[in-house]
Structure formats: C-alpha cells, structure tokens
Amino acid sequence: MKLAFSLFLFSLPGFAAGQKWTGQIADSMCGADHSAMASGGKKVDPHDCTLACSTGGAKLTFVSNGTVFEIANQNFADLTKHAGQTVRLTGDLGSDGKTITVSKLAMKK
C-alpha cells in the first residue's frame, strides 16, 4: 500500500522536475545573433540589445544550442535581469516543441 501511494505522489504533475537547459536569454527580434543591431563597427552588448528590443515590443526568448525557444511566461521573475546572459533554465517544453514555461532561472556557474 505504501509503495502504491508513493508511486501515485510522484506521478502527480506538481512533482515534475521539469527539463533543464543552458543557454542565453535573448529576444524574438535578434534571436541568437545581435549583430544586426551593431552600428559603426561596435560590438553589441547582448544584455543591452535584449533589453532594448524587448522594450520595443520584442518577446523574450531562450536560445540553447542554436535553437530559439519562445518563453510562455514573459513576466517570470529575473528574465530581464538575466537578459543576454548565459543561464541555467528549468521549465516545461510545450507540446509544440518551441515554447518553454520557465519554472527556475539561475546564472550558469
């Protein structure tokens, strides 16, 4: 009986650990490459570019191994704080394979 109850508890969605990825918080306008925003031969700071684009209406995204994922919960805490930075993201990949709902975000160590 205890074993059956334990198996039931761990099968509940609330106990799901979520998938983990390493990548950068970016924006839907630039994706994985901010070079289009460069001017005068200056290198673009990914943090500043991501913030500028998201303020201008672009959605925040997550780029991992060259793949750009949409972030479902745009208001998740610390997304803008870590804009342009490499992070360790935990979340759930949507059934479309293109959207992540973030549950945890931390700087990559």
- Domain segments of the chain as ranges: 16-107
Residue-level pLDDT, tens digit, the chain, 109 residues: 554 444 444 444 545 569 999 999 999 999 988 887 777 778 889 999 999 999 999 999 999 999 999 999 999 999 999 999 999 999 999 999 999 999 999 998 7
Residues 16-107, CATH architecture: Beta Barrel (2.40)
Contact by Cβ (8 Å): 91, 100: yes
- Decide: pTM greater than 0.85: no
